[in-house]
Amino acid sequence: MSGVEFHQLEAVLFAAASPLSMDTLSDIFEVYIPEIEDVVAAYEELLIQERRGIRIRRSAAGIELVSAQECSEFVGKIRHRDEKLSGAAMETLAVVAFKQPITKGEIEEFRGVNCEKVLKQLLARDMIIELGRKETIGRPVIYGTSENFLRTVGANSLEELQQSMVFTDDIEIDKEGGV
């Protein structure tokens, strides 16, 4: 085991505002990447063995501390209703996730309703990002999902998310991942 102690790793992960990459952790603790990977893996196992209320989550964005799934009933009680996304926001987010890159007009065409307010809400919550502008009349903004979206749903990539989805027979997915 390297000179990095679990309580040091825990403090750094707890204090971080966002997931940290192995490179960043390696720099912080001044150890080689394989060493920090070993410490993270050992700490992750310890949290599970001791049935602690926190876990390590690995995502495309990096490593972070999260509450343990078996504590979700209690953790959920501290969440405020206004933190939840509305049905319209969830639907819009799903459209963006599976049809991206996509413009506001394309989303509205797909959903059949105006989605300007919902897009602003999703942007403010860092669930979607502006990817650029489409080379067409009016140069509309193109949207896609953010790293925060992937972190929130616990996926490392969109491909992983799409593979984990369970679909009924009446929903088809085209080759580009669209619904």
Domain with residue 28: its CATH number is: 1.10.10.10
pLDDT digit string, tens, across residues 100-129: 999 999 999 999 999 999 999 999 888 999
Check whether residue 63 and residue 93 sit in a common domain: no
Residue 2, pLDDT above cutoff 80: no
What confidence category does residue 20 fall into, taking pLDDT thresholds of 50, 70 and 90? very high
Q: Is 137 helix (H, G, I), strand (E, B) or coil?
A: coil
State the pLDDT confidence band at 147, using cuts at 50, 70 and 90. Answer: confident
Residue 89 has pLDDT above 80, yes or no: yes
Is residue 24 included in any domain, yes or no?
yes
Of the three residues 57, 76, 95, the one that is the final residue of a domain is 76
Q: With CA atoms as reference, report the closest residue to 143 among 162, 167, 165, 115.
A: 115
Cβ neighbours for 76, distance < 8 A, ≥ 6 positions apart: none
Q: Could you tell me the maximum CA-CA distance found in the chain, to the nearest angstrom? A: 59
What SS3 class is residue 65?
strand
Q: Which of 51, 76, 101 is a domain's end point? A: 76
Judge if 61 and 120 occupy the same domain: no
Picking from 18, 47, 76, the residue at the C-terminal end of a domain is 76
Could you tell me if 72 and 123 lie in one domain?
no
Cβ(95)–Cβ(112) below 8 Å: no
Do 20 and 64 fall within a single domain?
yes
Number of domains in the chain: 2
| Long-range CB contact pairs, 24-32, < 8 A, 24+ | 24/62, 25/63, 29/2, 29/3, 29/4, 31/2, 31/3, 31/4
Structural domain for 94, as ranges: 81-164
Residues 154 and 88 in one domain: yes
Q: What pTM was computed for the model?
A: 0.53
Instruction: Assess whether pLDDT exceeds 80 at residue 168.
Output: no
Query: DSSP secondary-structure letter at 51?
Result: T
